[in-house]
């Protein structure tokens, strides 16, 4: 099969054998691939796959089942599915645990299917499992126009929460408003700390992909028992100052998480819980993935550059021809 290989941080096509199935897995003929920042980090040598997983890039996929493992009973050949893999999606075929995939809703394109798993499962885990989000609470979402940010806005609004998002330009601001965000702050034009203090915003849950100096800024906006969930460190690895006194005063919880290195049982439970809670809202398209760009997989370098330059509003998807 063909796959996209990494050579000195450059992407190019190569060939390898089809992956072999375990008894609880399915073989998927890949139709579309969701691009994630984790792919870029892996390409740069900064984020290797978990031990035993495919070295090929790619964490989320949409395609058609072409082979079933011996113990798989709930799926059929030919079904269109999307799901989460720990690696291997940048290829013509990929293996996926039967418990880590969901059926593509009727009326959804394969490109939409490829834009759901990693972003919505990360957002769901962050808000619901780590953030303990309850209805009508107040949420701050940094990078609101990103894949995870756009998913988090929709999930939070489904619970009638009050959502404030931060973004880097006016086009992204408009996109977040369209998704339902109650307020959106362009951090390049306005100090979001000053804005939130002026408008008396204190947050129950804060979703942060920036880290670095944002940690102390988030603490300054924390309501009592606030849960700050850190998913990435685009702003740097270290926080130079941390206001421990304010953390104690407001009983702030700080959690950091990735999804890729979670075990299979955890991922299976997460997929099941997420789809039980939101399957109907996807089916009725009350919630949908936000897609910025769809490119043929021959243009994978261009797809990566969109994320590297922070140009995207929503997901970038590769279509496999």
CATH at 217: 3.40.50.720
Q: Is the pLDDT of residue 208 over 90?
A: yes
Is there a contact between 179 and 152 (Cβ–Cβ < 8 Å)? no
Banded model confidence at residue 241, pLDDT cuts 50, 70, 90: confident
Query: Of 256, 272, 304, which residue constitutes the final position of a domain?
Result: 256
User: Does 103 share its domain with 47?
Assistant: yes
Q: C-alpha dihedral over 183, 37, 26, 14, to 10 degrees?
A: 150
In whole angstroms, what is the distance from residue 301 CA to residue 198 CA? 43
Judgement on whether residues 72 and 158 belong to the same structural domain of the protein: no
Name the pTM for this structure: 0.95
User: 256, 281, 309: which is the final residue of a domain?
Assistant: 256
Q: Which of 225, 256, 287 is the last residue of a domain?
A: 256
Q: Which domain holds residue 72?
A: 2-116+260-319
What does the mean pLDDT of the chain come to?
96
pLDDT per residue over 120-156, tens digit each? 999 999 999 999 999 999 999 999 999 999 999 999 9
Asked whether residue 156 falls in the same domain as residue 275, the answer is no
H or E element in which residue 121 lies = helix 117-124
- Length of the chain (residues): 321
Q: Same structural domain for residues 65 and 145?
A: no
Residue 253 bridge partners (DSSP):
227
For residues 166-173, average pLDDT: 97
123 & 229 share domain: yes
Residues 178, 24: Cα–Cα separation, whole Å: 40
Closest CA to 203 of 182, 186, 188, 189: 182
* pLDDT score of 321: 85
Claim to verify: residue 145 and residue 97 sit in the same structural domain: no
Same domain, yes or no: 123 and 248? yes
* Average pLDDT rounded to a whole number, residues 266-277: 97
Question: Average pLDDT for residues 171-177, to the nearest whole number?
Answer: 97
Q: What is the pLDDT of residue 240?
A: 84
Query: Could you give the number of structural domains in the chain?
Result: 2
CATH for 315:
3.90.180.10
């Amino acid at each position: 099969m063909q796959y996209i290989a990494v050579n000195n941080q450059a992407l190019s096509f190569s060939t390898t054998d089809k992956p072999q199935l375990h008894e609880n897995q399915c073989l998927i003929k890949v139709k579309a691939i969701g691009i994630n920042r984790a792919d870029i980090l892996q390409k740069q040598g900064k984020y290797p796959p978990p031990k035993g997983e495919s070295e090929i890039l790619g964490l989320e996929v949409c395609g058609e089942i072409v082979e079933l493992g011996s113990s798989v009973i709930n799926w059929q050949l030919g079904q269109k599915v999307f799901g989460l893999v720990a690696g291997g999606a940048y290829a013509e075929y990929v293996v996926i645990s039967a418990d880590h995939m969901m059926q593509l809703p009727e009326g959804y394109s394969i490109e939409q299917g490829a834009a759901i798993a990693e972003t919505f499962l990360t957002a769901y885990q962050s808000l619901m499992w780590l953030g303990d989000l309850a209805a009508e609470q107040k949420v701050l979402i940094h990078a609101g126009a990103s894949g995870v940010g756009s998913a988090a806005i929709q999930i939070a609004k489904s619970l009638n929460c009050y959502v404030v998002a931060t973004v880097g330009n006016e086009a992204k601001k408009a996109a977040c408003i369209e998704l339902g965000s109650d307020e959106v702050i362009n951090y390049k034009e306005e100090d979001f700390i000053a804005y939130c203090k002026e408008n008396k915003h204190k947050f129950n849950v804060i979703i942060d992909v920036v880290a670095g100096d944002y940690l102390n800024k988030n603490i300054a906006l924390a309501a009592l028992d606030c849960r700050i969930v850190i998913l990435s460190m685009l702003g740097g690895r270290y926080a130079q100052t941390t206001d421990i006194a304010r953390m104690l005063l407001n009983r702030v919880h700080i959690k950091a998480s990735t999804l890729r290195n979670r075990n299979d049982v955890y991922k299976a439970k997460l997929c099941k819980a997420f789809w039980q809670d939101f399957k109907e809202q996807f089916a009725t398209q009350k919630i949908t993935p936000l897609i910025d760009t769809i490119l043929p997989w021959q243009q994978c370098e261009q797809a990566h550059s969109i994320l590297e330059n922070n140009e995207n509003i929503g997901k970038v998807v590769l279509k496999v021809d």
